[in-house]
Structure 1
């Protein structure tokens, strides 16, 4: 039996979709990430223990929805290894999470009472950042994008593996970076929901000359649950306040 590379049953679908060379690159990526945390752990978010948390909480076979983020929060008390999610903190309603909470309310799901989105992950929502690490400088200034590790190799292969899956998946792509991944999602059984990013700068703007809805008007959560209902799948309880 070979050693596990990525947790919770992700190795097999990744190995099936990857070329032999890409699989060796994934092994090298895992090793490089381990060394990266040895060298720069104090500057990196999330913590080493949370690096693969999105995969740990949502197995390949359990994915019903994929929600793509960009990269982790630069602040260690916010970065949890889950896209858009923060830890159990009182002052969570700001920036993207504020927009997400507002959209949930306008979509009719009540009030989001916590910035910890791990209950979504436990229902089959893969909260995946396109890049799994964020690196701060020693002076405390943040870098916008950490390109040290080839995380896009992993995340692209994850999306391609899910696209090849017979069981349908709803893909939520918020913002230009996430929307670039739609070229890997073409199987007819899946749902694509696209909108601008929920950041304060983008939430009210359309993208691509109006072809992609502004986040605030996207009804993303309504679209996903309506599709799940049509597919005779359990709905996602987005806030814990949905009628049972």
Structure 2
């Protein structure tokens, strides 16, 4: 029996730089170290896009000259950073058959072998688009960014970023808008869970709209913030499933789940203060549908299987072997369907129920048994210890 493979994206690293340390609950991964360039920061984008008709070079285009046709054809599969075709301009969800990375079907190349150059991607963007996408390039986990790079360069996403820019959402280092949540630096906090380590997806609607509540994870709130009613109901269900081991915590910070491979993703990633769904139908749904399609292809790609003795029996395959998706409420179920995760023969376990909101928890959330069902399936798929310690909040 060979030792488990070690993947670069899963290795915590330290550097000698003076960069501020991450929160204690968030590991730093080699692929997630920001790459800074010694160049002048681009100016904020103008209201009108003067480069609307400018052809954007792909990473693949940049590798070859116009006369290298044969070489391009031979090596095309190697240059696969990005996602769907550049002529797709969805208003809510991209077509279900758009699961390609530069002509290669998503999920046909091992996750860790997909190349990506952040600097090349940034250089390929028009100046105004580069300014708009600085937040994504600076804060998104690189295991996600390399598969979402072309998606965030799509016209619909650039339009979404213009809308957010007008709302005050700019770069990670810029002043946070006073009435838009979460803070820009936290919008992609969910991507702190490396793609290859994802076991479970808990899909929320949009961020909490109260001051100080949203911090980039569905259903979670930062330490020191009162536990919202929906999360209180989640704790109640946990208590009913694990009566002897779950003690209701005095906080709502779900870092313990994140560190175990639970992806806490909202369908819409920003919201106006005290106005739920205020940023719905602006383009976020198309983006997070794409995130779910990537989970379909690569979720759990670096998870091996443990044997009966609990020791590694198989290494990760580099391809997604299936995850559990907890879809609470009709809107979450709609996103799962839009992304095609519940298609016939799906390799995933999709668990649906009512939302934990006080308005609906009594209509099917309480008693759904989702936490135990998730662990039973995960241990069948990934071996002993393959589940999530839900009591570790």
Q: TM-score range with shorter-chain normalisation?
A: 0.7 to 0.9
Aligned to 1:155: 288
Deviation at 1:32, TM superposition (A): 4.9
Detail structure 1 runs of 4+ shifted over 4 Å in the superposition: none
Matched, 1:62 2:193: no
**Contact 2:329–2:355 (CA<8 Å) still a contact in 1?**
yes
Matched, 1:235 2:387: yes
RCO comparison, higher one (Cα < 8 Å, 6+): 1
Unaligned runs of 5+ in 2: 1-119, 123-135, 171-175, 299-319
Q: Residue 220 and residue 148 in structure 1: after superposition, are their counterparts in 2 closer, same or farther (change >3 A)?
A: closer
Question: TM-score, normalized by length of structure 2?
Answer: 0.52
Of 349, 353, 371, 1:191 maps to 349
CA distance, structure 2, for counterparts of residue 26 and residue 143 of structure 1: 21
Unaligned runs of 5+ in 1: 206-213
Aligned to 1:79: 214
Aligned to 1:179: 333
CA distance, structure 1, for counterparts of residue 335 and residue 168 of structure 2: 27
* Count of equivalent residues: 224
**Contact 2:327–2:350 (CA<8 Å) still a contact in 1?**
yes
Q: Residue 12 and residue 110 in structure 1: after superposition, are their counterparts in 2 closer, same or farther (change >3 A)?
A: same
Deviation at 1:8, TM superposition (A): 3.0
Deviation at 1:204, TM superposition (A): 1.1
**Contact 1:67–1:125 (CA<8 Å) still a contact in 2?**
yes
Of 218, 224, 229, 1:95 maps to 229
CA distance, structure 2, for counterparts of residue 44 and residue 159 of structure 1: 24
Aligned to 1:131: 268
Q: Deviations over 1:142-201 (max 9, x none)?
A: 354323731111100011121233321111100010011232203522110111000111
Q: Residue 63 and residue 31 in structure 1: after superposition, are their counterparts in 2 closer, same or farther (change >3 A)?
A: farther
Deviation at 1:237, TM superposition (A): 1.4
Of 33, 41, 44, 2:180 maps to 44
Q: Which structure has greater helix proportion?
A: 1
Deviation at 1:240, TM superposition (A): 2.2
Deviation at 1:34, TM superposition (A): 4.6
Larger Rg: 2
**Contact 1:15–1:23 (CA<8 Å) still a contact in 2?**
no
Matched, 1:106 2:240: yes
Question: TM-score, normalized by length of structure 1?
Answer: 0.82
Bigger mean CA offset, 108-117 vs 63-72: 108-117
CA distance, structure 1, for counterparts of residue 375 and residue 225 of structure 2: 28
